Chain A
Amino acid sequence: MTVEAREARQPWILLSPALLVVTLLLFVPLLFIIVYSFWLRTATGADEVGFFLDNWREALGDPFYRDILLNTLKIAAVTTVVCAVAGYPAAYFIARSKGNKALLLLLLMLPFWVSYIIRTMSWINILGVSGALNTFLIWTGLINEPIQMLYNEATVILGLVHFLMPFMILNVFVSLDGIDRNLEDAASSLGATRIQGFREVTLPLSLPGLAAGGLLCFVLAAGTYITPLVLGGPTDAMFANLVFEAIITQLNWPLGSALSLMLLVILGALVLLYNHFLGMAQLMKGLG
């Protein structure tokens, strides 16, 4: 073999283990569940191989699934908007602060590193019947009996906002931090007020970061499985709970495949749309 041929082979030798793992453990299984979603789970519990549309008809047509899907998308949308509205000023503060930006970011990342399940359940300590808030309200005399504030859709959204806020702040911060400060100075020297300068210069330039943060928040919120189980009531199931139910409890794997593919297609379409308009590079900046 020539030197050139050996040189050309080297990167493939280095890449092959990772590519093999991703192909075998992600792409092949995804192709498999596409095929599997057209099979049929019979009453005996065996799978009938074939091309049946029954699972898809059930997943797409049953109002039970449709309602939960819409509700899941609604919860994800509300979570994203709350994260954006609450997180943007905080990101702006970090980016424009004269103090130690690295320290402020590190502080933000600390709760981010705290285990997801711990952060989720920690709200029970705050809002539960014998939690901090009820104890405080009784102590002040505002209420006599503790109020049940937990286990509804609002607390699910609260838990999700708490979980996803750092993603939003980090992404907005990255794009705000990259804006040339001279642009704002130029705007003000040309007579723009601070608010005009922000609206005409800073805000538009930070939109890519806002979009990246929004995409991450929405996709992660819409795929949530644990939060509704810990902080939601019996009627607050989200789509991922349906998938788990179909697969682990009902053992209807073809139907579960169809349901998970539905989620993948919807969220995948968002990612592709984002990629088309803004490109993946922005997203990777915020992750790294």
Chain B
Amino acid sequence: MGWMLIRVWAILVYIFMFLPVAVVVLLSFNASQFGSFPMTGFSFRWFIELANNEAILRAFRTSIILGGLTALVSTTLGVLASLALIRYKVPGQNLISTVLIAPILVPEVVLAVALLLFLNFLSLNKSFALLLFGHVIFTLPFVILVVQARLVGIRRDIEEAALSLGANPVQTFFQITLPLLMPAVLAGGLFAFTISFDDITGTLFWKPGGVETVPTQIFAMLRNSISPEINALGTVMILLTVGLPVLGLAIARWASMKSGG
């Protein structure tokens, strides 16, 4: 009896989580010229209009370049730092970990304000580089958490075997550690990309005039009214942000199955 109630409650929570998202996808195929109910027919016209919308395409390019660069820088820094923290005895290890995780603990608005005003004080104007720096700083902790969790599970003796067989530390890293760490590197990179791709608060503070990412573009479009195009864009975003991690998960599982035999 009690379990039944809990089960029904859990189903209601899942419906609550999914319903609005499902409605976005549903409405994006609505033939009506207003972005709302009632559904007047099934149509792809809003996706076609989307594909011809120069501003949105530009925002997409910006977001993908920004997300890609963020993932590249964050993952590189994160892998190096994780190696040091897991594979070496470093004095003040806990303090260093806390310092590296700190960007998660600072509210994003505060982080955005501090970085913006500091660079302004240094007479550096808002630029794409500022946007990139900003995204790196708040994705780095997530990459470090993901990579560290995986690195703990890689047995030290495999690396030691390589070293004792005459490989130098750099060779050992590239031929033993990195391949074993690859799923975590990919997962961390994907995580960084998704967070960057989705970010809006920091981006609104940092973006130079005229530069829009996909979320800020959607936000700007919302000011007028909710157009069917936004729902279509939402559907594309859902496919991207849900599809990419699922794809990443699938790749990771496939890779581990292959290596696990």
Residue of A10, A22, A32 with highest tally of chain B CB at under 10 A: A22
Main DSSP-derived SS at the A contact region: helix
Interchain CB contact under 8 A, B109 and A244:
yes
Chain A residues contacting B260 (CB-CB under 8 Å) are none
Chain B residues contacting A117 (CB-CB under 8 Å) are 198, 200, 215, 218-219
Q: How many angstroms from the CA of A130 to the CA of B228 in the assembled complex?
A: 13
Q: How many angstroms from the CA of A183 to the CA of B215 in the assembled complex?
A: 47
**Given A11-B84, A22-B103, A113-B194, A125-B18 contact (CB < 8 Å):** no
| Least distance between A126 CB and chain B CB atoms (Å) | 6
Interchain CB contact under 8 A, A126 and B23:
yes
| Least distance between A176 CB and chain B CB atoms (Å) | 12
Interchain CB contact under 8 A, A131 and B36:
yes
B145-195 CB contacts (< 8 Å) to partner A = 145-146, 149, 169, 194
| Least distance between A245 CB and chain B CB atoms (Å) | 11
Interchain CB contact under 8 A, A25 and B133:
yes
Interchain CB contact under 8 A, A116 and B13:
no
Interchain CB contact under 8 A, A26 and B111:
yes
Chain B residues contacting A132 (CB-CB under 8 Å) are 23, 37
Q: How many angstroms from the CA of A114 to the CA of B116 in the assembled complex?
A: 28
A261 interface neighbour in B37, B83, B110, B136, Cβ under 8 Å: B110
Q: How many angstroms from the CA of A257 to the CA of B118 in the assembled complex?
A: 11
Chain A residues contacting B252 (CB-CB under 8 Å) are none
Interchain CB contact under 8 A, B37 and A131:
yes
| Least distance between A131 CB and chain B CB atoms (Å) | 6
Q: How many angstroms from the CA of A257 to the CA of B121 in the assembled complex?
A: 13
Interchain CB contact under 8 A, A118 and B117:
no
B137 interface neighbour in A19, A22, A114, A271, Cβ under 8 Å: A22
**Given A15-B84, A92-B6, A264-B107, A118-B237 contact (CB < 8 Å):** yes
B23 interface neighbour in A125, A225, A287, Cβ under 8 Å: A125
Interchain CB contact under 8 A, A247 and B27:
no
Interchain CB contact under 8 A, B14 and A15:
no
Q: How many angstroms from the CA of A66 to the CA of B13 in the assembled complex?
A: 35
Chain A residues contacting B5 (CB-CB under 8 Å) are 89
Q: How many angstroms from the CA of A23 to the CA of B241 in the assembled complex?
A: 30
Chain B residues contacting A114 (CB-CB under 8 Å) are 21, 237-238, 241-242
| Least distance between A157 CB and chain B CB atoms (Å) | 13
| A154, CB-defined interface residue at 8 Å | no
| A268, CB-defined interface residue at 8 Å | yes
Interchain CB contact under 8 A, A15 and B37:
no
| B50, CB-defined interface residue at 8 Å | no
| Least distance between B144 CB and chain A CB atoms (Å) | 8
Interchain CB contact under 8 A, B205 and A244:
yes
Chain B residues contacting A213 (CB-CB under 8 Å) are none
| B80, CB-defined interface residue at 8 Å | yes
Interchain CB contact under 8 A, A260 and B36:
no
Closest A-chain residue to B234, C-beta based?
A118
Instruction: Give the total of A residues in contact with B, Cβ under 8 Å.
Output: 81
B100 interface neighbour in A19, A36, A89, A264, Cβ under 8 Å: A19
Instruction: Give B1-38 as 1s and 0s: 1 = Cβ < 8 Å from A's Cβ atoms.
Output: 01001110110011011111101100100000011111
B90 interface neighbour in A11, A30, A128, A257, Cβ under 8 Å: A11
| Least distance between A168 CB and chain B CB atoms (Å) | 10
Q: How many angstroms from the CA of A10 to the CA of B101 in the assembled complex?
A: 21
Interchain CB contact under 8 A, B242 and A113:
yes
| Least distance between B2 CB and chain A CB atoms (Å) | 7
Interchain CB contact under 8 A, B114 and A90:
no
B81 interface neighbour in A18, A107, A122, Cβ under 8 Å: A18
| Least distance between A100 CB and chain B CB atoms (Å) | 14
A27-42 CB contacts (< 8 Å) to partner B = 27-30, 32-33, 36
| Least distance between A259 CB and chain B CB atoms (Å) | 8
| 28 A–B contacts, CB within 8 A, in A order | A15-B81, A17-B76, A18-B144, A22-B102, A25-B136, A27-B102, A33-B117, A36-B121, A108-B14, A108-B17, A117-B200, A118-B218, A121-B222, A122-B20, A122-B24, A125-B20, A165-B16, A169-B13, A194-B2, A219-B107, A225-B201, A226-B200, A229-B219, A243-B113, A263-B107, A263-B109, A271-B105, A287-B104
Which of A's residues lie within 8 Å of B, judged by CB? 10-12, 14-15, 17-19, 21-23, 25-30, 32-33, 36, 86-87, 89-90, 92-94, 107-108, 110-111, 113-119, 121-126, 128, 130-132, 135, 162, 165-166, 169, 194-195, 219, 222-223, 225-226, 229-230, 240, 243-244, 247-248, 253, 256-257, 260-261, 263-264, 267-268, 271, 280, 284, 287-288
Q: Which 5 A-B pairs have the closest CB atoms?
A: A223-B107, A122-B20, A93-B10, A29-B118, A29-B114
